[in-house]
Chains A and B, each alone.
Chain A
Amino acid sequence: MAIESDAVEQELELAIHPMDQFLVKPLFGGSDIGMFTITNATLWLGITVLCAIALMVLGTRGRAIVPSRSQSIAEVIYVFIYKMVEDITGKDGLKYFPYIFSLFIFILVANVVGLLPASFTTTSHIAVTATLALIVFVAVTVLGFVKNGTAFLSLFWVSAAPLALRPILALIEVISYFVRPVSHSIRLAGNMMAGHAVIKVFAGFAVVTFISPAAIGAIVAIYALETLVVCIQAYVFTILTCVYLKDALHPSH
């Protein structure tokens, strides 16, 4: 079957498989991955952290009144997230601003670094995003019980609804509460994976001569869209963290 099919298509499939870029490979030879093997994921996670530190620490080191370019980028991001945390969670949520800010910076830098050609997008792996989402989920749940005691459970008991409806609503609320970490992590990973796979699919079309100009144009367009999407997804992840935090601090419906 495979031999008779279109030769170009066959070659395409061998040349660039759109999902190959997400393979985790050991960096230094061998093919088995243990707990502490240094893989390309490790490398790019490290690069992400270094870039974030370089932007935030080295960028703001000058403390100039008239900021340099890197300092103003750092300041704009800082103020942006600070305002967001303040708007959504209120004044008492500002205590958790450092955590939310590092979450945002990490995801943003990881996404942007993942857009570099031939790089590895760490946030496209559910293992990475699920870790981040689970930390948020556990932290928020524990915080809700510590701050409010059993009153936290009123989050599930919608007092605005008629009494007969409340048990059903409570069931739905409980389910939606436990789906939160799932959707929180899959949203980020799915967006990253889908976007990068689409770029690779069009890169596969670019091999075919007569449609390659259109394909290259499409790559440019999708790349621009992806640049927007990576920032929006980092923002969405952070804003949802803020919303969950607000639910934990003020559970009244």
Chain B
Amino acid sequence: MAIEGDLAQMGAFLGAGLASVGMGGAAIGVGNVVGNYLSGALRNPAAAAGQTATMFIGIAFAEALGIFSFLVALLLMFAV
């Protein structure tokens, strides 16, 4: 019984660690959004100010999925 419990806990910890890999994906996504915004903004600075809000919406959507992976990790650590 004790070994089974330990195994389950090990699985939860491993899963939490694996889930945090998803944050790397969110980092790539956010970097992509901001990088493309910046390269566009440097070509046409006049239009840049109007698109900041769109950029933030894009960041928010990309970031949400990273936060989901964080949530999965938290659930595995504390709720399972």
Contacts and interface: CB of A to CB of B under 8 A. Distances in A.
**Which of under 10, 10 to 19, 20 to 34, or 35 or more describes the interface residues of B?**
10 to 19
Given A19-B78, A194-B70, A187 B53 contact: no
A62 to B, nearest CB: 31
Query: Dominant SS at the A interface?
Result: helix
B27 interface: no
B68 A186 contact: yes
B56 A236 contact: yes
Interface residues of A, number: 17
Given A187-B63, A187-B67, A190-B71, A232 B56 contact: yes
B64 A239 contact: no
A235 interface: yes
A154 B23 CA distance: 34
A87 B56 CA distance: 14
What 10 pairs between A and B have smallest CB-CB spacing? A190-B67, A183-B64, A236-B60, A187-B64, A187-B67, A190-B70, A194-B70, A186-B67, A236-B56, A190-B71
Given A190-B70, A243-B57, 14 more contacts: A84-B53, A87-B50, A87-B53, A183-B64, A183-B67, A186-B67, A186-B68, A187-B64, A190-B71, A191-B67, A235-B56, A239-B56, A239-B57, A239-B60
Interface of A: 19, 84, 87-88, 183, 186-187, 190-191, 193-194, 232, 235-236, 239-240, 243
